[in-house]
Amino acid sequence: MTSTYFDFPYHVDGRGRTAEATAADHVRDLIYQVLFTAPGERVNRPDFGCGVSQLVFMPNSDALAAATQFLVQGALTRWLDGIIAVQAVEITPTDSTLTVQVSFSDLRTGQTQQVIFDAPVSAP
């Protein structure tokens, strides 16, 4: 039996139905939600997320990249511990963007995957 997941963000597909996502896309969506949800943003879970999107107000630097790496690793381990095993988090600061690269193993399939997100930040 295959599982059906709603795509994130929620939208209606071309058939007029709720858009669905594959299991791999669902895991990517979960990682995105942890990274870009600011703590305090969710009513019933005020400590959820790590707030990478708040970095837009911080000057881009190697120190910010190092701090973000620990922040992301901790948040993913905390919130997705039963779904993925984080293997590596790499943060690369370039101009006004932090590139967040997460390597992980999907605990359901055992497959190793990698996702990359860009977070805008202020210029140094």
Series of mean pLDDT values for 10-residue runs along the chain (124 residues): 75 87 90 92 92 77 85 94 95 82 94 90 60
Check residue 45 and give its pLDDT: 93
What phi and psi, each to the nearest 5 degrees, are found at residue 62?
-65, -35
Amino acid at 2: T
**Structural domain boundaries enclosing 99:** 5-120
Can you give the CATH number for the domain in which 108 is found? 3.10.450.40
> How much is the pLDDT for 123?
56
Q: What is the pLDDT of residue 113?
A: 94
Count of domains for the chain:
1
Global pTM value: 0.85
